[in-house]
Structure 1
Amino acid sequence: MSTVHDFQVKMTNGNEKSLDEYKGKVLLIVNTASKCGLTPQFEGLQSLYDKYKDQGLEILGFPCDQFNNQEFDNIEETTQFCQLNYGVTFPMFGKIDVNGANADPLFSHLKEQKKGVLSKNIKWNFTKFLVDRNGQVIERYAPTTEPGKIEDDITKLL
Protein backbone atom coordinates (compact mmCIF):
# COMPACT_ATOMS: atom_id res chain seq x y z
CA MET A 1 0.00 0.00 0.00
CA SER A 2 1.34 3.41 -0.86
CA THR A 3 1.85 6.21 1.61
CA VAL A 4 2.02 9.98 1.24
CA HIS A 5 5.80 9.61 1.14
CA ASP A 6 5.55 7.83 -2.24
CA PHE A 7 4.37 10.98 -4.06
CA GLN A 8 6.14 13.79 -5.89
CA VAL A 9 4.66 17.29 -5.86
CA LYS A 10 5.41 20.45 -7.80
CA MET A 11 7.05 23.29 -5.97
CA THR A 12 6.20 26.91 -6.79
CA ASN A 13 9.21 27.08 -9.14
CA GLY A 14 7.92 24.06 -11.11
CA ASN A 15 10.55 21.62 -9.79
CA GLU A 16 9.45 18.29 -8.36
CA LYS A 17 9.87 17.49 -4.67
CA SER A 18 9.57 14.03 -3.19
CA LEU A 19 7.40 13.83 -0.09
CA ASP A 20 9.71 11.14 1.25
CA GLU A 21 11.72 14.13 2.51
CA TYR A 22 9.01 14.41 5.17
CA LYS A 23 9.40 10.87 6.52
CA GLY A 24 9.29 11.00 10.31
CA LYS A 25 7.22 14.21 10.32
CA VAL A 26 3.55 14.71 11.12
CA LEU A 27 1.92 16.42 8.13
CA LEU A 28 -1.14 18.60 7.77
CA ILE A 29 -1.88 18.83 4.04
CA VAL A 30 -4.29 21.59 3.00
CA ASN A 31 -5.75 22.79 -0.30
CA THR A 32 -5.68 26.57 0.03
CA ALA A 33 -7.07 29.66 -1.71
CA SER A 34 -6.08 33.30 -1.32
CA LYS A 35 -9.44 34.94 -2.06
CA CYS A 36 -11.83 32.73 -0.09
CA GLY A 37 -13.97 33.45 2.95
CA LEU A 38 -11.89 30.80 4.74
CA THR A 39 -8.54 32.41 3.80
CA PRO A 40 -8.06 33.78 7.36
CA GLN A 41 -7.40 30.13 8.34
CA PHE A 42 -3.84 30.79 7.14
CA GLU A 43 -3.38 32.57 10.47
CA GLY A 44 -4.38 29.48 12.48
CA LEU A 45 -2.30 27.20 10.27
CA GLN A 46 0.75 29.41 10.74
CA SER A 47 0.14 29.49 14.49
CA LEU A 48 0.13 25.67 14.63
CA TYR A 49 3.27 25.58 12.51
CA ASP A 50 5.10 28.05 14.74
CA LYS A 51 4.10 26.13 17.85
CA TYR A 52 4.92 22.59 16.69
CA LYS A 53 7.43 22.71 13.81
CA ASP A 54 10.32 22.02 16.18
CA GLN A 55 8.50 18.90 17.40
CA GLY A 56 8.08 17.52 13.88
CA LEU A 57 4.97 19.15 12.37
CA GLU A 58 5.00 20.24 8.75
CA ILE A 59 2.08 22.02 7.13
CA LEU A 60 1.95 21.70 3.35
CA GLY A 61 -0.19 24.20 1.44
CA PHE A 62 -1.45 23.45 -2.05
CA PRO A 63 -3.15 26.41 -3.77
CA CYS A 64 -6.22 25.38 -5.73
CA ASP A 65 -8.41 27.42 -8.08
CA GLN A 66 -11.23 24.90 -8.58
CA PHE A 67 -13.75 26.55 -6.26
CA ASN A 68 -15.05 29.83 -7.69
CA ASN A 69 -11.63 30.87 -9.01
CA GLN A 70 -10.44 32.05 -5.60
CA GLU A 71 -6.73 31.79 -6.29
CA PHE A 72 -4.37 34.13 -8.11
CA ASP A 73 -3.33 33.11 -11.64
CA ASN A 74 0.33 33.70 -10.83
CA ILE A 75 1.85 31.50 -8.10
CA GLU A 76 4.20 34.34 -7.13
CA GLU A 77 1.17 36.48 -6.26
CA THR A 78 -0.14 33.63 -4.12
CA THR A 79 3.06 33.19 -2.13
CA GLN A 80 3.52 36.95 -1.66
CA PHE A 81 -0.10 37.32 -0.53
CA CYS A 82 0.26 34.51 2.02
CA GLN A 83 3.54 35.86 3.38
CA LEU A 84 2.50 39.51 3.53
CA ASN A 85 -1.03 39.07 4.89
CA TYR A 86 -0.65 36.01 7.11
CA GLY A 87 3.10 35.62 7.72
CA VAL A 88 3.07 32.16 6.14
CA THR A 89 6.43 30.41 6.46
CA PHE A 90 5.28 26.81 6.00
CA PRO A 91 5.87 25.28 2.55
CA MET A 92 3.50 26.28 -0.24
CA PHE A 93 3.53 24.29 -3.46
CA GLY A 94 2.46 24.79 -7.06
CA LYS A 95 -1.20 25.32 -7.90
CA ILE A 96 -3.11 22.06 -8.39
CA ASP A 97 -6.53 20.56 -9.04
CA VAL A 98 -7.91 18.43 -6.22
CA ASN A 99 -10.92 16.96 -8.06
CA GLY A 100 -11.66 15.75 -11.57
CA ALA A 101 -9.60 14.24 -14.37
CA ASN A 102 -6.60 16.50 -13.64
CA ALA A 103 -6.59 15.97 -9.88
CA ASP A 104 -3.11 15.85 -8.41
CA PRO A 105 -2.16 12.21 -7.63
CA LEU A 106 -1.39 13.12 -4.00
CA PHE A 107 -4.91 14.46 -3.48
CA SER A 108 -6.43 11.45 -5.26
CA HIS A 109 -4.58 9.29 -2.73
CA LEU A 110 -5.65 11.44 0.24
CA LYS A 111 -9.31 11.29 -0.85
CA GLU A 112 -9.09 7.53 -1.35
CA GLN A 113 -7.71 7.06 2.17
CA LYS A 114 -10.23 9.34 3.92
CA LYS A 115 -13.51 9.98 2.18
CA GLY A 116 -15.71 12.95 2.97
CA VAL A 117 -19.18 12.79 4.46
CA LEU A 118 -21.09 12.14 1.23
CA SER A 119 -18.33 11.44 -1.28
CA LYS A 120 -14.60 11.40 -1.60
CA ASN A 121 -14.49 14.64 -3.59
CA ILE A 122 -13.16 17.71 -1.88
CA LYS A 123 -16.03 20.15 -1.42
CA TRP A 124 -14.16 23.44 -0.89
CA ASN A 125 -10.90 25.19 -0.08
CA PHE A 126 -9.12 24.42 3.20
CA THR A 127 -9.96 20.73 3.40
CA LYS A 128 -7.26 19.34 5.68
CA PHE A 129 -5.64 15.91 5.90
CA LEU A 130 -3.63 14.83 8.94
CA VAL A 131 -0.84 12.35 8.16
CA ASP A 132 1.25 10.45 10.71
CA ARG A 133 5.05 10.10 10.74
CA ASN A 134 4.79 6.94 8.59
CA GLY A 135 2.84 8.66 5.81
CA GLN A 136 -0.54 7.17 6.72
CA VAL A 137 -3.61 9.40 6.41
CA ILE A 138 -5.16 9.57 9.88
CA GLU A 139 -7.99 12.09 9.53
CA ARG A 140 -9.78 14.41 7.12
CA TYR A 141 -11.23 17.72 8.29
CA ALA A 142 -13.94 19.82 6.69
CA PRO A 143 -13.03 23.22 5.21
CA THR A 144 -14.85 24.97 8.06
CA THR A 145 -12.83 23.16 10.75
CA GLU A 146 -10.62 25.83 12.28
CA PRO A 147 -6.95 24.82 12.52
CA GLY A 148 -6.96 25.27 16.31
CA LYS A 149 -9.59 22.51 16.60
CA ILE A 150 -7.07 20.05 15.10
CA GLU A 151 -4.36 20.81 17.67
CA ASP A 152 -5.18 17.91 20.03
CA ASP A 153 -5.09 15.41 17.15
CA ILE A 154 -1.71 16.81 16.04
CA THR A 155 -0.18 16.64 19.51
CA LYS A 156 -1.23 12.97 19.86
CA LEU A 157 0.84 12.16 16.75
CA LEU A 158 3.83 14.24 17.78
Structure 2
Amino acid sequence: MMQTRAPTMTTRPAIGRAVRPAVRSAVRPQALFGFGKTAEPETMSEFYSFAVKDIDGKNFQMSSLKNKAVLVVNLASACGFTPQYEELQELYNKYSKQGFVVLGFPCNQFGAQEPGSNQSIKQFAKSSYGVTFPLMSKVDVNGPGAEPLFDWLKTQKGGILTSDIKWNFSKFLVNKEGDVVGRYGSTSAPLSLENDIKKALV
Protein backbone atom coordinates (compact mmCIF):
# COMPACT_ATOMS: atom_id res chain seq x y z
CA MET A 1 0.00 0.00 0.00
CA MET A 2 1.40 3.26 -1.08
CA GLN A 3 1.64 5.97 1.53
CA THR A 4 0.59 9.38 0.41
CA ARG A 5 2.90 12.03 1.68
CA ALA A 6 1.33 15.17 2.82
CA PRO A 7 2.29 18.00 0.52
CA THR A 8 5.11 20.06 1.90
CA MET A 9 3.87 23.48 2.92
CA THR A 10 6.29 26.22 1.93
CA THR A 11 6.04 29.31 4.01
CA ARG A 12 6.19 32.40 1.84
CA PRO A 13 7.64 35.50 3.37
CA ALA A 14 5.10 38.07 4.34
CA ILE A 15 4.64 40.66 1.69
CA GLY A 16 4.99 44.18 2.90
CA ARG A 17 7.44 46.95 3.73
CA ALA A 18 9.99 46.42 6.37
CA VAL A 19 9.07 48.32 9.46
CA ARG A 20 11.95 50.11 11.06
CA PRO A 21 12.05 50.36 14.78
CA ALA A 22 10.46 53.58 15.90
CA VAL A 23 13.03 56.21 16.63
CA ARG A 24 12.08 58.69 19.28
CA SER A 25 13.23 62.16 18.57
CA ALA A 26 15.17 63.44 21.48
CA VAL A 27 13.89 66.74 22.79
CA ARG A 28 16.82 68.82 23.77
CA PRO A 29 16.47 70.48 27.14
CA GLN A 30 17.53 73.76 25.67
CA ALA A 31 14.71 73.60 23.13
CA LEU A 32 12.26 72.69 25.85
CA PHE A 33 13.31 75.35 28.27
CA GLY A 34 14.57 77.98 25.85
CA PHE A 35 18.26 77.52 26.58
CA GLY A 36 20.88 77.78 23.87
CA LYS A 37 18.71 79.53 21.32
CA THR A 38 20.52 81.36 18.59
CA ALA A 39 19.69 85.05 18.77
CA GLU A 40 18.17 86.42 15.60
CA PRO A 41 20.31 89.15 14.04
CA GLU A 42 18.92 92.57 14.74
CA THR A 43 17.92 94.66 11.75
CA MET A 44 19.58 98.05 11.87
CA SER A 45 17.57 101.07 10.75
CA GLU A 46 18.61 102.60 7.45
CA PHE A 47 18.77 105.93 9.27
CA TYR A 48 22.20 104.97 10.55
CA SER A 49 23.60 104.32 7.07
CA PHE A 50 23.54 107.99 6.03
CA ALA A 51 26.45 110.41 6.16
CA VAL A 52 26.20 114.18 5.76
CA LYS A 53 28.46 117.21 6.10
CA ASP A 54 28.34 119.33 9.21
CA ILE A 55 28.33 123.11 9.01
CA ASP A 56 32.14 123.14 9.05
CA GLY A 57 32.32 120.74 6.10
CA LYS A 58 33.32 117.69 8.14
CA ASN A 59 31.80 114.26 7.71
CA PHE A 60 28.99 113.48 10.13
CA GLN A 61 27.82 109.87 10.40
CA MET A 62 24.25 109.15 11.45
CA SER A 63 25.60 105.99 13.05
CA SER A 64 27.04 108.25 15.77
CA LEU A 65 23.43 108.84 16.87
CA LYS A 66 22.62 105.23 17.75
CA ASN A 67 20.58 104.93 20.95
CA LYS A 68 19.64 108.61 20.77
CA ALA A 69 16.33 110.28 19.92
CA VAL A 70 16.83 112.80 17.11
CA LEU A 71 14.76 115.74 15.89
CA VAL A 72 15.75 116.59 12.31
CA VAL A 73 14.76 120.14 11.29
CA ASN A 74 15.27 122.18 8.13
CA LEU A 75 16.21 125.70 9.21
CA ALA A 76 16.18 129.23 7.83
CA SER A 77 17.58 132.45 9.29
CA ALA A 78 15.11 134.94 7.82
CA CYS A 79 11.76 133.18 8.22
CA GLY A 80 8.74 133.98 10.35
CA PHE A 81 9.40 130.67 12.11
CA THR A 82 13.07 131.43 12.83
CA PRO A 83 12.33 132.15 16.52
CA GLN A 84 11.70 128.40 16.85
CA TYR A 85 15.47 128.19 17.23
CA GLU A 86 14.93 129.26 20.82
CA GLU A 87 12.56 126.38 21.66
CA LEU A 88 14.74 123.89 19.81
CA GLN A 89 17.69 124.94 21.96
CA GLU A 90 15.51 124.76 25.08
CA LEU A 91 14.56 121.16 24.29
CA TYR A 92 18.18 120.29 23.60
CA ASN A 93 19.29 121.80 26.90
CA LYS A 94 16.60 119.91 28.78
CA TYR A 95 16.94 116.43 27.25
CA SER A 96 20.43 116.14 25.74
CA LYS A 97 21.75 114.33 28.84
CA GLN A 98 19.01 111.73 28.31
CA GLY A 99 20.18 111.12 24.74
CA PHE A 100 18.21 113.71 22.75
CA VAL A 101 19.75 115.54 19.78
CA VAL A 102 18.44 118.32 17.56
CA LEU A 103 19.98 118.10 14.09
CA GLY A 104 19.59 121.33 12.12
CA PHE A 105 19.87 121.52 8.33
CA PRO A 106 19.83 125.03 6.82
CA CYS A 107 17.86 125.17 3.56
CA ASN A 108 17.29 127.99 1.07
CA GLN A 109 14.48 126.35 -0.92
CA PHE A 110 11.58 128.16 0.74
CA GLY A 111 11.31 131.86 -0.02
CA ALA A 112 15.11 132.09 -0.35
CA GLN A 113 15.16 132.72 3.40
CA GLU A 114 18.56 131.10 4.04
CA PRO A 115 20.84 132.82 1.51
CA GLY A 116 24.00 133.04 3.61
CA SER A 117 27.09 130.86 3.78
CA ASN A 118 27.46 128.03 6.25
CA GLN A 119 29.69 130.14 8.46
CA SER A 120 27.31 133.11 8.49
CA ILE A 121 24.42 130.75 9.36
CA LYS A 122 26.47 129.24 12.19
CA GLN A 123 27.36 132.67 13.54
CA PHE A 124 23.75 133.86 13.35
CA ALA A 125 22.38 130.81 15.17
CA LYS A 126 24.98 131.09 17.92
CA SER A 127 24.84 134.84 18.46
CA SER A 128 21.06 135.24 18.13
CA TYR A 129 19.82 132.09 19.87
CA GLY A 130 22.79 130.58 21.66
CA VAL A 131 22.55 127.43 19.57
CA THR A 132 24.79 124.56 20.67
CA PHE A 133 23.00 121.65 18.99
CA PRO A 134 24.65 120.22 15.85
CA LEU A 135 24.21 122.21 12.64
CA MET A 136 24.80 120.65 9.23
CA SER A 137 25.81 122.17 5.91
CA LYS A 138 23.11 123.86 3.86
CA VAL A 139 21.11 121.36 1.78
CA ASP A 140 18.09 120.96 -0.47
CA VAL A 141 15.29 118.91 1.05
CA ASN A 142 13.09 118.54 -2.06
CA GLY A 143 13.74 117.87 -5.72
CA PRO A 144 16.45 116.00 -7.62
CA GLY A 145 19.25 117.52 -5.56
CA ALA A 146 17.71 116.72 -2.19
CA GLU A 147 19.90 115.41 0.58
CA PRO A 148 19.35 111.60 0.53
CA LEU A 149 18.62 111.59 4.25
CA PHE A 150 15.59 113.80 3.67
CA ASP A 151 14.39 111.65 0.78
CA TRP A 152 14.48 108.69 3.16
CA LEU A 153 12.74 110.57 5.97
CA LYS A 154 9.93 111.51 3.59
CA THR A 155 9.40 107.89 2.58
CA GLN A 156 9.02 106.96 6.25
CA LYS A 157 6.47 109.68 7.03
CA GLY A 158 4.63 111.13 4.06
CA GLY A 159 3.04 114.56 4.06
CA ILE A 160 -0.33 115.92 3.01
CA LEU A 161 -1.02 115.38 -0.73
CA THR A 162 2.69 114.83 -1.44
CA SER A 163 5.61 113.77 0.70
CA ASP A 164 7.50 116.97 -0.11
CA ILE A 165 8.49 119.24 2.73
CA LYS A 166 6.27 122.30 2.63
CA TRP A 167 8.30 125.02 4.36
CA ASN A 168 11.08 125.94 6.76
CA PHE A 169 11.17 124.34 10.21
CA SER A 170 9.53 121.07 9.24
CA LYS A 171 10.50 118.39 11.74
CA PHE A 172 11.05 114.62 11.83
CA LEU A 173 11.35 112.77 15.13
CA VAL A 174 13.47 109.60 15.14
CA ASN A 175 13.44 107.29 18.15
CA LYS A 176 16.37 105.46 19.75
CA GLU A 177 15.97 102.51 17.34
CA GLY A 178 16.24 104.74 14.27
CA ASP A 179 12.51 104.65 13.44
CA VAL A 180 10.76 107.80 12.26
CA VAL A 181 7.93 108.18 14.78
CA GLY A 182 6.71 111.69 14.02
CA ARG A 183 6.52 114.36 11.33
CA TYR A 184 5.50 117.92 12.14
CA GLY A 185 4.95 121.02 10.05
CA SER A 186 6.33 124.51 10.46
CA THR A 187 3.43 125.62 12.65
CA SER A 188 4.14 122.93 15.27
CA ALA A 189 6.11 124.71 17.96
CA PRO A 190 9.05 122.64 19.16
CA LEU A 191 7.87 122.66 22.78
CA SER A 192 4.57 121.11 21.66
CA LEU A 193 6.56 117.97 20.76
CA GLU A 194 7.89 117.46 24.28
CA ASN A 195 5.68 114.47 25.15
CA ASP A 196 6.54 112.74 21.87
CA ILE A 197 10.24 113.35 22.56
CA LYS A 198 9.90 111.74 25.99
CA LYS A 199 8.33 108.66 24.40
CA ALA A 200 11.07 108.51 21.76
CA LEU A 201 13.67 108.48 24.54
CA VAL A 202 12.24 105.37 26.19
Classify the TM-score, shorter chain: over 0.9
| Unaligned runs of at least 5 residues, structure 2 | 1-43
- Secondary structure of residue in 1 paired with 2:60: strand
- Identity, % of aligned positions: 50
Secondary structure of the residue that 1:50 maps to in structure 2? helix
Matching of residue 40 in structure 1 with residue 68 in structure 2: no
**What is the TM-score normalised by the length of structure 2?**
0.76
Secondary structure of residue in 1 paired with 2:144: coil
1:134 — aligned with what? 177
1:12 matched residue in structure 2: 55
Q: 2:142 aligns with which of 99, 105, 112?
A: 99
Q: Give the CA RMSD over aligned residues.
A: 1.0
Shift in Å at residue 98 of structure 1? 0.1
Q: Is the 8 A contact 2:56 2:119 kept in 1?
A: no
Match of 2:151 in 1: 108
Deviations 1:116-136 (A, max 9, x none): 122100000000000011111
Q: For structure 1, which runs of at least 5 residues remain unmatched after alignment?
A: none
Structure 1 segment 55-70 matched on structure 2, within 5 A: 55-70=98-113
Deviation string 1:57-94 (CA, Å, 9 cap, x unpaired) is: 00000000001111133111101100111111000000
Provide the secondary structure at the position in 2 that maps to 1:13.
Answer: coil
**Equivalent residue number for residue 12 of structure 2:** none
Q: Distance in 2 between matches of 1:138 and 1:2?
A: 13
Tell which has more relative contact order, 1 or 2 (C-alpha 8 A, sep 6+).
Answer: 1
Q: Give the Cα–Cα distance (whole angstroms) in 2 for the partners of residues 2 and 111 of structure 1.
A: 15
Q: Which has the higher helix share?
A: 1
Q: Quick one: which amino acid aligns to residue 50 of structure 2?
A: F
**Aligned AA (1:53):** S
Secondary structure of the equivalent of 1:153?
helix
Q: Does 2:127 match 1:84?
A: yes
Q: CA shift at 1:108, angstroms? A: 0.2
Q: Residue 156 of structure 1: CA displacement? A: 1.2
CA contact (8 A) 2:45 2:177 kept: no
Alignment partner, residue 27 of structure 1: 70
Structure 1 residue aligned with 2:93: 50
State the alpha-carbon separation in 2 of the partners of residues 40 and 110 from structure 1: 24
CA radius of gyration, larger in: 2
- Residue 2 of structure 1: how far off its partner (Å): 4.7
Residue type of the partner of 1:82? Answer: A
AA matched with 1:41: Q
How far did 1:4 drift?
1.3
Indicate the residue corresponding to 1:124 in structure 2. 167
Q: Which amino acid aligns with 1:150?
A: L
* Distance across 2 between alignment mates of 1:157 and 1:8: 22
Q: Partner of 1:99: helix, strand, or coil?
A: coil
